């Protein structure tokens, strides 16, 4: 197991390095520099500024400096807001984005699985059709459309929830709803179809023949087997939710990471681009790692192979 973890860790580091390098290449190949928009600066000032941020160095030196800043986890100050460091921005924005993301994932996973189970147990019944109708809508409506619809109806027209910002649980409802509906619908459909398949398996019939209650059969025997594909797509869904938070944060004016992420790219704020990208990539890679670990817990057949086996 330890050997496997170390191997995974190494792969994670390599993945991260590839992401860093690609980001760097993309970043320097975008035309323009952080100081293009500064009207007051003359050429000498601009040169001084570039020297200050090491932007006058050749690319490989800049690249090595970036690697160094990542390894030491010190991305330096933002170019556009020199009074705060990238770490400050992360410390301020990430907890909010994280909160939004985590609540969304929890809502999506639980409601998706429950809807899927209900639909499977009432296969071809009214509940099944209703659930799957909702699911198809959920998959086909993009989250930014849903977000604006929710604001218009529930916040503006009926004033049930606040329109925007992020300060109380009530503020969470609309953004989470907008962000969670898509993943929830995907999970619900997947859970339903795998549940239907699992429910026809012999071991379910065997569980019935033991005289177990339908509840026990569903939870203990069927669900665990039906969850495997759901775990598989969790990786993709996580990435989707992560990028989704950027859009949703913009719409609801939530002071999370999304704002810095998008603004930094528009303003060529190199340290912020690098910092946010690396941070988010590392986070996503770690989540995918957790998903892989979850496999082994759910299905005992998936075990780490010892060398030579």
Partner 1 sequence: MEKILEVKDLHVTFTTYGGTVKAVRGVNFYLNKGETLAIVGESGCGKSVTSNAIMRLIPDPPGKISNGTILFKGTDLTRVSEKEMRGIRGVDISMIFQDPMTALNPTLTIGTQLMEGLKQHHKVSGAEARKKALEMMDLVGIPNPDERLKQYPHQFSGGMRQRIVIAIALICEPELLIADEPTTALDVTIQAQILELFEKIQHATGVSIILITHDLGVVAKIADRIAVMYAGKIIEVGTKREIFYNPEHPYTKGLLNSVPRLDLQGEKLIPIDGTPPDLFSPPTGCPFTARCPFAMEVCDKVYPEVSALSDSHQVNCWLQDERAKQLLAEAVTK
Interface residue list for partner 1 (CB under 8 A): 201-203, 205-213, 216, 220-221, 224-225, 298-301
Q: How far is CA 256 from the centre of its chain?
A: 13
Measured from the CB atom, the residue of 107 and 222 that comes closer to partner 1 is: 222
Neighbours of 69 (CB within 10 A): 17
For residue 282, how many C-alpha atoms fall within 13 Å in the half-sphere facing its CB?
12
Short-list 114, 111, 135, 131, CA closest to 123: 131
Helix (H, G, I), strand (E, B) or coil at 288: helix
Measured from the CB atom, the residue of 1 and 71 that comes closer to partner 1 is: 1
- CA dihedral (292, 298, 301, 307) in degrees, to 10, reads 30
Nearest approach in angstroms of CB 209 to partner 1 is: 4
Measured from the CB atom, the residue of 300 and 308 that comes closer to partner 1 is: 300
Short-list 285, 240, 245, CA closest to 98: 245
Measured from the CB atom, the residue of 39 and 301 that comes closer to partner 1 is: 301
Measured from the CB atom, the residue of 64 and 219 that comes closer to partner 1 is: 219
Measured from the CB atom, the residue of 152 and 201 that comes closer to partner 1 is: 201
Nearest approach in angstroms of CB 302 to partner 1 is: 10
Nearest approach in angstroms of CB 219 to partner 1 is: 12
Whole-angstrom CA distances from 242 to 103, 124, 198, 260 are: 12, 34, 31, 14
Nearest approach in angstroms of CB 293 to partner 1 is: 16
Short-list 230, 209, 5, CA closest to 112: 230
Report phi then psi at 252, rounded to 5: -95, 10
Nearest approach in angstroms of CB 289 to partner 1 is: 22
Q: What pairs with residue 77 in β-bridges? A: 85
Nearest approach in angstroms of CB 207 to partner 1 is: 7
């Amino acid at each position: 197991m330890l050997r496997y973890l170390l191997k995974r860790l190494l792969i994670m580091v390599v993945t991260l390095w590839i992401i860093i390098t690609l980001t760097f290449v993309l970043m320097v190949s975008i035309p323009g520099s952080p100081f293009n928009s500064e009207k007051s600066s003359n050429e000498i000032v601009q040169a001084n500024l570039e020297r200050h941020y090491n932007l006058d160095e050749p690319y490989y030196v800049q690249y090595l400096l970036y690697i160094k800043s990542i390894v030491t986890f010190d991305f330096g100050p933002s170019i556009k807001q020199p009074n705060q460091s990238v770490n400050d921005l992360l410390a301020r924005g990430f907890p909010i984005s994280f909160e939004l993301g985590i609540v969304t994932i929890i809502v999506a996973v639980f409601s998706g699985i429950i809807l899927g189970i209900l639909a499977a147990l009432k296969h071809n019944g009214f509940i099944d059709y209703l659930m799957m109708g909702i699911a198809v809508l959920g998959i086909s409506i993009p989250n930014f459309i849903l977000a604006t619809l929710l604001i218009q109806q529930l916040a503006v027209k009926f004033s049930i929830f606040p329109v925007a910002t992020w300060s109380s649980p009530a503020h969470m409802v609309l953004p989470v709803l907008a962000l969670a509906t898509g993943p929830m619908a995907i999970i619900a459909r997947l859970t339903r179809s795998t549940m239907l398949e699992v429910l026809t398996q012999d071991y379910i019939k065997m569980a019935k023949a033991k005289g177990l209650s339908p509840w026990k059969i569903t939870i203990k025997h069927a669900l665990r087997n039906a969850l495997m594909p759901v775990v598989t797509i969790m990786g993709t869904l996580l990435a989707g939710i992560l990028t989704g938070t950027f859009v949703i944060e913009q719409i609801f004016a939530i002071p999370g990471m999304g704002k810095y992420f998008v603004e930094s790219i528009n303003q060529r704020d190199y340290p912020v681009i690098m910092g946010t990208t690396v941070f988010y990539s590392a986070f996503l890679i770690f989540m995918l790692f957790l998903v892989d670990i979850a496999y082994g817990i759910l299905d005992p057949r998936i075990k780490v192979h010892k060398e030579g086996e």
